[in-house]
Amino acid sequence: MVASKLDPTIEYPEIKKLSEVDEGFDASLYEVELYPKMLCTIVIGNINSIHKDKGVYHMSVYLVVDDSMGDKIGVYECLASNYTNLLDDENDLDIDKLDDPIPLLFSFVTPDYLRRTLKLKKPVSPVDDDPLPSVDDENKEEDKGEESDEYVGDRLNLKDIVQEDDSDIIKSIEVKMMEESIEERKNYKKKGNHNWLQKFLKNKKFGIQDVESQGDCFFAVIREAFKGIGKNITVQQLRNEVSDRATKEVFDSFKQQYDMFYTSISESNLKMKKIYDKIKELKTANATEKNPKIKKQIVEISKPLIEEFKRTKRERENAKKLIEDYNFMKKVKNLQDFKDIIKTCAFWAEVWSINLIEMFLNIKVIIMSSDNYRSKDTDNVLLCSSFVDDSIQIFRPKYYLLMVHTGNHYKLITYDGKRIFTFETIPWDIKQMIVDKCMEKQGGVYIKIPKFIKLKSERSEQMGINEEEEGESKMSDVTYDENTVFQFYSKSADRAPGKGSGEKIPASDVGLYKELDGIPDWRKVLSNFYIAPFELDGHRWNSVEHFYHASKFKRGNPEFYLTFTLNEGGEEISKDPALAKGAGGKTGKFKGKRIRPKEVVMDEDFFTSKRNEVEMERAQKAKYEQNPLAKRVLLYTGNAKLQHFVRASPPIVFYDTMRVRRNLRK
């Protein structure tokens, strides 16, 4: 019997034969590294709810031998309440979503058992552990036999590692990579054992290699990547290099962050206790009060207190999440303590240290978020760093590393067996995502890399895009803080201010936005798709999107204009912002279905007279003036720059929203 890790009272019998629940079950194949350098193919059985009363589900795991299903070798188990969250789009178990992708193995499943059963002479090695050819073919021979020259003890010899990309010319291999990618997508067929990145990019050449956790993962990924070009770097060497570069200014910033979040949590606890005591008093008074009128008054008094308690609790929980990145500072009193703790696994890589490592190794780390993929925020799977060292004018990284970030762990991304890349060998799909998402005019490190600048320019020419056109005329009377940026759209993930895609906040200003952080899904509130009914021009509108698109037909087609309103017949258009956008769009269609009659055309002067700008701002003004929650959210954004995410294009700066924000303060 093997004991459950979720409930010690549960034991699984070590029976090799097929379980009854798995008979006739159409299972998928997976590849899992059961032991170091032993990559095995397994089959996962059907869900077994025999222990449902204890809140635990399990699935049998079978070893695949010679393309046939062999012995049952263990189980995957999960909490019954979390089971649906572990499924992929086809309702198969996605083992990448498990805390531990290694199943609970039966006692007889040893490395020797696997070798005997699979008839192996040595452990099965995953592709990513094979010696890889150098990315720089010209240096292939030079790399041989030099493994011990890169470091002396725990210090890196950076002269041997750091190289600059000495050419700004994009080599012809770019076309080859594009053709390969298109062919891969064309022929891709999703399989159960494909990892999430293969499914997302429809390319089976992407691999994910795990590394040790416990705070060392980012450094370990760099170590594994450089092995691909025969360079030996240790985790400790990287930590020592970061420690050496820590300054008093950096220490003060980390200490300030820790103290700020700690104080916020303490203040929230005190505030919650006071509110709780007051609510308790009112509850007691209500229980003893006989007069219905007074009882009703007590209930009304309690309502705002309950809301304030909930809001304060959310602020506290968010502060608890944020302080997790700084908990290592609890006993750090001075710069030397800070330098010392960086050398240990208590310090996890974050924005400052990642940027520092990129600079002293002359590399660029490209990070993909599996967390965003699983939450279906697929437009933000690629994380575009908003941190840019202003002292750097031109950045020519020699190598590029691809990583997965799960939320609390980093893994190495490989492509076609390669662990590290030059500009030319970065997978084509990844490069296109960088150009689409990370190279907006407003900033980002990629606009300092000559080859990416050239790639973007060539692509813009092919698409006929004039990069000088951005409608800057509307910004003349709007002021905002360029150092603080919030980005939003109708499907934005609910993250703390500054933690969303394309966002940034100076570390010293994080505390200014704790009220904003206390409002669930505040980014969605800023979207024009947000449902916040308001009255304007004698009609009631469900959203800004409704009023804006209706205004296109106000003069020439007043009857169609009225279908967008809430008080004129209850048309479907009036309820759904996406439907309203389709009806008011160029084609008049929504999901392929015609919504706007062909004979209904837009007012000719809507754009030429700039009435579009006027109507948009009028609608936003009405939304924020008439909706208390929306108004609170907007004011809580302070003086931050507000921009709207647009897929495959630079974000749109919402000058009109910031102008409304300014006027609301008057």
Residue found by looking up tokens 């030059």 in the block:
422
Six-digit token string for 224: 């594994």
CATH number at residue 285: 1.10.287
Specify if 412 maps to a domain.
yes
Please answer whether residues 565 and 540 qualify as being in contact, where contact means their C-beta atoms are separated by less than 8 angstroms. Answer: yes
Same domain? 287 vs 157: no
- Arithmetic mean of pLDDT, 528-539: 94
Same domain? 62 vs 167: no
Domain end marker among 271, 304, 339: 339
Q: What contacts 24+ positions apart, CB below 8 Å, involve 498-503?
A: 500/380, 501/372, 501/377, 501/379, 501/380, 501/383, 501/384, 501/645, 502/380, 502/384, 502/386, 502/437, 502/440, 502/643, 502/645, 502/651, 503/386
Least confident of 187-191, 208-212, 422-426: 187-191
Q: What contacts 24+ positions apart, CB below 8 Å, involve 310-317?
A: 311/518, 311/519, 312/268, 312/271, 312/272, 312/275, 312/518, 313/268, 313/272, 314/517, 314/518, 314/519, 314/520, 315/264, 315/268, 315/514, 315/515, 315/517, 315/518, 316/264, 316/265, 316/268, 316/269, 316/272
Share of the chain above pLDDT 70, in %: 86
- 117, pLDDT greater than 90: no
Specify if 121 maps to a domain.
yes
Specify if 576 maps to a domain.
no
Rounded Cα gap, residues 197 and 412, in angstroms: 12
Specify if 200 maps to a domain.
yes
Same domain? 39 vs 65: yes
- 131, pLDDT greater than 50: no
- 54, pLDDT greater than 60: yes
Q: Residue 639: which of 611, 661, 612 has the closest Cα?
A: 661
- 388, pLDDT greater than 70: no
Same domain? 220 vs 361: yes
20 burial via Cβ count (<10 Å: 0-12, 13-18, 19+): exposed
- Arithmetic mean of pLDDT, 428-437: 89
pLDDT in tens, 484-499: 999 998 888 888 898 8
Q: What is the mean pLDDT of the chain?
A: 84
Confidence of residue 123 (pLDDT cuts 50, 70, 90): very low
pLDDT in tens, 336-369: 999 999 999 999 999 899 999 999 999 999 999 9
- 631, pLDDT greater than 80: yes
- 106, pLDDT greater than 50: yes
Specify if 216 maps to a domain.
yes
Give pLDDT, residue 82. 80
Same domain? 15 vs 114: yes
Q: Residue 400: which of 371, 434, 443 has the closest Cα?
A: 434
| Residue 658 to residues 441, 443, 519, 643, Cα–Cα distance (Å) | 19, 20, 19, 10
Same domain? 386 vs 413: yes
Secondary structure (H, E, C), 411-442: EEEEECCECCECCCCCCHHHHHHHHHHHCCCC
Specify if 534 maps to a domain.
no
Q: What does the chain come to in residues? A: 666
Specify if 635 maps to a domain.
no
- 572, pLDDT greater than 90: no
- 151, pLDDT greater than 50: no
- What is the pTM assigned to this prediction? 0.60
Same domain? 64 vs 210: no
Domain end marker among 467, 502, 529: 467
Domain end marker among 443, 467, 491: 467
pLDDT in tens, 414-429: 999 999 999 999 999 9
* Stronger pLDDT, 258 or 176, i.e. the higher one: 258
Same domain? 335 vs 407: no
Please answer whether residues 372 and 382 qualify as being in contact, where contact means their C-beta atoms are separated by less than 8 angstroms. Answer: no
- Domain assignment of residue 266, given as a range: 248-339
Q: How many independent structural domains does the chain possess?
A: 3
| Residue 201 to residues 116, 368, 414, Cα–Cα distance (Å) | 37, 11, 13
DSSP H helical segments within 542-610, as ranges?
Answer: 544-550, 558-562, 577-584, 605-608
Specify if 654 maps to a domain.
no
Confidence of residue 168 (pLDDT cuts 50, 70, 90): low
Same domain? 71 vs 213: no
Same domain? 267 vs 384: no
Same domain? 362 vs 460: yes
Same domain? 86 vs 50: yes
Rounded Cα gap, residues 239 and 45, in angstroms: 43
